[in-house]
Amino acid sequence: MTDIVKILTRKNSLRKQCQDLSITDIEKIIVDLSDILKEKEASELERAEADREKNAKIDMIRKTMQDAGIGLDDIKDLVVASPKKKVEAKYRITDANGDNHEWSGRGRTPLAFQEYFDKNGVTKDDCLI
């Protein structure tokens, strides 16, 4: 919980923070918080309505499928999940043990590569396949 949330949710902390504020400043804060509350309530109502509409569409699709005699198993076979394509290695090194290591060049530098670079004074460009 952030400090501002702690202050706003604890009456005594809020009172202490407001001691040096003028009445006008406190009224402005109240108006701003009221506006934020109204925006949040409206946003949540919109989200709830969108969820209701989505669920109604899902129910309609289920009924249409049931009327047509189609089950989820019939559709499941039509949906093909594309397998993740393995990224080809771009760099290769052979360490002191004679083990080959390959790296695509994506993400963090593997430990074996970093040690190899540090020990041999080379860069990854020197290890291109």
With beta carbons less than 8 A apart as the criterion, state whether 127 and 94 touch. Answer: no
Helix (H) or strand (E) holding 94: strand 91-94
Helix boundaries (H) for the chain: 3-9, 11-18, 23-68, 72-76, 111-120
Q: What is the pLDDT of residue 45?
A: 98
Q: Do 104 and 87 touch, CB atoms closer than 8 A?
A: yes
CA distance 111 to 40: 47
Phi, psi dihedrals of residue 88, rounded to the nearest 5°:
-70, 150
Residue 85 inside a domain? The answer is: no
Instruction: State which residues form the domain around 98.
Output: 91-126
Instruction: Name the band, by pLDDT with cuts 50, 70 and 90, for residue 1.
Output: low
Q: What is the pLDDT of residues 54-100, one digit of tens each?
A: 999 999 999 999 999 988 888 887 777 777 788 899 999 988 788 89
Q: Considering its fold, how many domains does the chain have in total? A: 2
Mean pLDDT calculated for residue range 111-123 = 89
Identify whether 114 is part of a domain. yes
Check whether residue 70 and residue 96 sit in a common domain: no
The CB density around residue 18, as the number of other CB atoms within 10 Å, is: 14
Query: Same structural domain for residues 122 and 67?
Result: no
Co-location of 72 and 97 in the same domain: no
